[in-house]
């Protein structure tokens, strides 16, 4: 199915038509995976469209470029404004936002420094990431045979295009076997994350999620879920999680900008808890959607109105 298109793409500071947003085939990024990116959602609210945690996503984009010695030729405020302007220009009430920074066309050799750093912002209407019923019914997943990135190889705190070659292996394997998603372990054998989501488990009323020591992307939705859970009075622990503790958990769920908060109801064909969406998962979903849809006080200042 072709993806939904919008009118304009922000390309190095100018708006171009969707079909004209093109790069040279010898751009560094095409050959060596040299891109960093973000993904966030803009939600429809009664007070108009609102971006969820815009500043935090743009901060993480800059962190990713710092790790890879890339200089973005725009300030953070300029990029935040550009994101809001891209939504306005395309006249969207709700959308997914994809800012991407990459090494463009210059010299073709591993050293990226001679290549220009280019910046693109695209927006489009994107439905539910793991299927239309996933938020309510949950998804069935498998453990991946691939590990997540070893810490001294590809830095997982950077959201980099090249990291998603590993994610693609995890995702394709899961889909080939009829699952919605795969969960990878880190190179120590502890639970890491999904191909595009962080993971949480609930056991005896307590919430656990892998720490940044388990080769995860430090998810902004993960941080939001941790914040909401603590405010509800739950104990939340970040620590190494053995694979088998997910099988015997009461609830397991994914978090991510695209996946939002998605229950996991089976892993490797083993039913998790009751085999349906868990109580705490549902409470967190309700608190999350009340904020992003502007139905309750935005007490953490997570929304930026377009
Ligand atoms: N881990 C990975 C590997 C990851 O890609 C994401 C986001 C997360 C965790 C959750 O991070 P956050 O969005 O800040 O809560 N994955 C993005 C890309 C999805 C895609 O298919 O592309 C996303 O959810 O936007």
Cα(259) to centroid of ligand 1, in Å? 8
Atom of ligand 1 nearest to the CA of 220: 14
159, 171, 203, 279: the catalytic one is 159
**Could you give the CA distance from residue 222 to residue 199 in angstroms, rounded to a whole number?**
8
Q: Determine which residue's CA is closest to atom 11 belonging to ligand 1.
A: 219
Q: Given this model, what pLDDT does residue 127 score? A: 86
Average pLDDT in the 201-223 region? 98
Torsion angle of C-alpha atoms 39, 196, 187, 67, degrees rounded to 10? -10
Q: Is the pLDDT of residue 1 over 80?
A: no
Query: What's the CA-to-centroid distance between 245 and ligand 1, angstroms?
Result: 23
Ligand 1: centre distance to CA 39 (Å): 7
Q: How far apart are alpha carbons 218 and 186 in whole angstroms? A: 14
Average pLDDT over residues 279-306: 98
Residue nearest to atom 10 of ligand 1 (CA): 256
User: Which pLDDT score is estimated for 131?
Assistant: 85
Is residue 159 annotated as a catalytic residue, yes or no? Answer: yes
Cα(182)–Cα(170) distance, integer angstroms: 6
Residue 82 CB burial class (10 angstroms; 0-12, 13-18, ≥19): middle
Tell me whether strands 35-37 and 95-103 are parallel, antiparallel or unpaired: antiparallel
| Pocket around ligand 1 at a 6 A CB cut-off | 39, 167, 193, 196-198, 217, 219-222, 255-259
Q: Is the pLDDT of residue 239 over 90?
A: yes
């Amino acid at each position: 199915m072709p993806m939904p298109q919008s009118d304009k793409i922000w390309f190095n500071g100018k708006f171009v038509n969707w079909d004209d947003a093109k790069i040279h085939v010898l751009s560094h990024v095409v050959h060596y995976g040299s891109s960093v990116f973000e993904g966030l959602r803009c939600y429809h609210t009664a007070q108009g469209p609102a971006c969820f945690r815009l500043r935090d996503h743009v901060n993480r984009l800059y962190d990713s470029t710092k790790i890879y010695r890339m200089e973005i030729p725009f300030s953070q405020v300029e990029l935040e404004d550009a994101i809001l302007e891209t939504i306005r220009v395309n006249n969207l009430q709700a959308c997914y936002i994809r800012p991407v920074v990459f090494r463009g066309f210059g010299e073709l050799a591993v050293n990226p420094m001679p290549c220009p750093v280019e910046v693109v912002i695209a927006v489009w209407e994107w439905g539910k990431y793991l299927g239309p019923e996933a938020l309510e019914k949950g998804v069935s997943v498998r453990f991946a045979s691939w590990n997540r990135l070893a810490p001294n190889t590809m830095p997982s705190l950077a959201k980099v295009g090249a990291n998603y070659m590993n994610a693609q292996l995890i995702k394709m394997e899961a889909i080939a076997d009829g699952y919605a998603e795969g969960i990878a372990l880190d190179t120590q054998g502890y639970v890491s994350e999904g191909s595009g989501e962080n993971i949480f488990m609930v056991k005896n009323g307590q919430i656990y999620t892998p720490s940044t020591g388990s080769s995860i992307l430090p998810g902004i939705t993960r941080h939001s879920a941790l914040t909401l859970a603590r405010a509800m009075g739950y104990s939340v622990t970040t620590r190494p999680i053995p694979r088998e503790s997910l099988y015997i958990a009461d609830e397991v769920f994914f978090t991510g900008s695209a996946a939002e908060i998605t229950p996991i109801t089976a892993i490797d064909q083993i039913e998790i808890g009751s085999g349906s969406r868990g109580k705490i998962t549902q409470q967190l979903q309700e608190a999350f959607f009340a904020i992003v849809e502007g139905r309750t006080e935005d007490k953490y200042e997570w929304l930026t109105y377009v």
